[in-house]
Chains A and B, each alone.
Chain A
Amino acid sequence: MVNEILFWLLAAFALLGGIGLITSRSPIYCVLYAIVSFFCLAGLFLTLGAEFLAVIQIIVYAGAIMVLFLFVIMLLNLSEEDMEARDMTTGRAFAYILGLVFLAELLYAFGSFPELGIAYTGPFTGKVEPLGEQLLTQYLFPFEMISVVLLAALMGAMAIAKKHKA
């Protein structure tokens, strides 16, 4: 019961954060709304029993990536004229309609899931111990490759953002 109330609260705030993200004019507010949304997603992971991912979600997404976004926005020092107008153009109205149609389609598709008869085999515990063991046995190769990806991203980002002499 507590879990249910928690789910509805977290889901509502995650969606409100998403709505704020796509509607507020200032980029800083957009990032703050995104942080709300990502925190609520971490809570949803907890209600699903994925404790490890909830912690990683807060550290990596709500922490590191969003701080990076805030840094970049402050670094770029955008002026008032960079804020967007919010008038309803045909393109925007079309985008909203497309979004609603897409959502209806997805919900309809998910509604047919019980008919597939895939059995429930939970409950699930995403504790650190079994996941860490799997990471260093079955998923050892991708785990090592991820470090290469991160190193490449690091060097690539420095090369791209560096000031080039014209």
Chain B
Amino acid sequence: MNPQEHLYYYLAVSAALFMLGMVGVLIRRNAIIVFLCIELMLNAVNLSLVAFSSYLNDPTGTMLVFFVMCVAAAEAVVGLAIIIAMFRNRESVNISDINIFKW
């Protein structure tokens, strides 16, 4: 494989993972799984950042991934706290039941 093809395959895997995460967010109704799918999308983007960082031999992309991971950890903690609070109020984590903002 030449470097360009190499990069293309990594980007393709990244795109496919992002697509899976997006479809998951659209089809699942369990808030925890929707949240997991968002994590999957974040990881897919991380993969493409690392692939470009490796292709261009530039550590900037790697640093960006490092910060994305830190923010993702913070986001996971807050998101799961929100899900726990939601479960306390509604006895459910089904996002079809949480629809005050819908109308």
B75 touches A131 (CB 8 A): no
B59 touches A22 (CB 8 A): no
Main secondary structure of the interface of A (DSSP, over half): helix
Interface size bucket, A side? 35 or more
Q: Could you count the A-B residue pairs with CB atoms below 8 Å apart for me: how many are there?
A: 226
The reply to whether the CB of A6 lies closer than 8 angstroms to some CB of chain B is no
The reply to whether the CB of B56 lies closer than 8 angstroms to some CB of chain A is yes
Give A14-50 interface residues, CB cut-off 8 Å to B: 14-15, 18-19, 21-22, 27, 30-31, 34, 37-38, 41, 44-45, 48-50
- If A121-B55, A153-B74, A157-B81 are given as contacts, then 5 extra A-B residue pairs at C-beta distance below 8 Å, sorted by A number, are A22-B37, A56-B66, A76-B83, A98-B23, A120-B3
List the 7 closest A-B pairs by CB distance, nearest first. Answer: A153-B74, A22-B24, A95-B26, A18-B20, A99-B23, A157-B81, A120-B3
Cβ contacts A to B, 23 pairs, < 8 Å: A18-B40, A21-B24, A21-B36, A21-B40, A22-B24, A30-B33, A41-B47, A45-B50, A48-B50, A50-B62, A65-B39, A69-B35, A82-B30, A91-B27, A92-B27, A107-B15, A111-B8, A120-B4, A123-B54, A126-B50, A131-B62, A150-B70, A156-B78
